[in-house]
Chains A and B, each alone.
Chain A
Amino acid sequence: DAGVIQSPRHEVTEMGQEVTLRCKPISGHDYLFWYRQTMMRGLELLIYFNNNVPIDDSGMPEDRFSAKMPNASFSTLKIQPSEPRDSAVYFCASSFLRDNEQFFGPGTRLTVL
């Protein structure tokens, strides 16, 4: 298995633009997580899905952030409009069954100018 796949690996955009981050979880995994990592705030859980249904989105910073999981093999995290404070590394992770270890993707490094 290729592991969790994220694209793009790097994204540089200007303030106000829409940004879409993509994730393909490991096949067969039924949980998918989106995290954000910054120096100031560490690793934060933004949202997670179970069987494509959002379970907890309390970590989503504000309405500018949205996430979808249209099927078991694909999820997106969208920021519209983007702001410089959104600059961070965004990780997608997946796991099989509850409380099992999470497998992380390589991350998307987002820079908003």
Chain B
Amino acid sequence: AQSVAQPEDQVNVAEGNPLTVKCTYSVSGNPYLFWYVQYPNRGLQFLLKYITGDNLVKGSYGFEAEFNKSQTSFHLKKPSALVSDSALYFCAVRAPLGGGYNKLIFGAGTRLAVHP
């Protein structure tokens, strides 16, 4: 069965430092992986996705994610954190339903706190 894990409930980073939010996955077949961000009192916003191709995927707001097949990981990264990056981050994996349909399974979320 498809699943995704975000091992850290919270990540604390100083502004200007690089940040990493971790995600590991378990899938049968080729993984389709996503990152979303949720700001307070808002819906989720799409950041980036990996379907195939380069292992380093670039997304919105300067974020990128590195797909590592051997470690079954899809960590979210940013070279220099901003206070405005503070939010809840969700990793998601595509899960097949049959009949050609799929759904997303979301991780529990990681709260990123960037301190001035």
- Assess whether A101 is in contact with B101, with CB atoms less than 8 Å apart: no
B11 within 8 A of A: no
- Assess whether A56 is in contact with B51, with CB atoms less than 8 Å apart: no
Distance in Å from the Cβ of B25 to the closest Cβ of chain A?
Answer: 15
The interface-forming segment of A14-22, A41-49, A63-71, A73-81 is A41-49
How far, in angstroms, from A105 to B32 measured CA to CA in the complex? 23
Of B41, B46, B97, B107, the residue contacting A55 (CB under 8 A) is: B97
B63 within 8 A of A: no
- Assess whether B43 is in contact with A4, with CB atoms less than 8 Å apart: yes
Query: Nearest CB to that of B95 among chain A residues?
Result: A45
Kindly list chain A residues whose C-beta atoms are within 8 Å of the C-beta of B43: 4, 91, 93, 104-107
**Chain B positions 30-76 with a Cβ under 8 Å from a chain A Cβ:** 32, 34, 36, 41-46, 49, 51
How far, in angstroms, from A103 to B94 measured CA to CA in the complex? 16
Taken residue by residue from 7 to 51, chain A's Cβ proximity to chain B (1 for < 8 Å, 0 otherwise) reads as: 000000000000000000000000000000000001101001010
A85 within 8 A of B: no
Q: How many residues of B contact A (CB 8 A)?
A: 25
How far, in angstroms, from A16 to B51 measured CA to CA in the complex? 45
Q: How many residues of A contact B (CB 8 A)?
A: 19
Distance in Å from the Cβ of A37 to the closest Cβ of chain B?
Answer: 9
A52 within 8 A of B: no
How far, in angstroms, from A43 to B109 measured CA to CA in the complex? 9
Contact A99-B106, Cβ < 8 Å, known A4-B43, A43-B90, A106-B42: no
The 5 closest A-B pairs by CB, nearest first: A104-B43, A101-B46, A104-B44, A43-B106, A42-B108
A residues apposed to B, CB below 8 Å: 4, 42-43, 45, 48, 50, 55-56, 91, 93, 98-99, 101-107
Q: Besides A55-B101, A102-B44, 6 other CB < 8 A contacts?
A: A42-B107, A45-B105, A91-B44, A99-B94, A104-B45, A106-B42
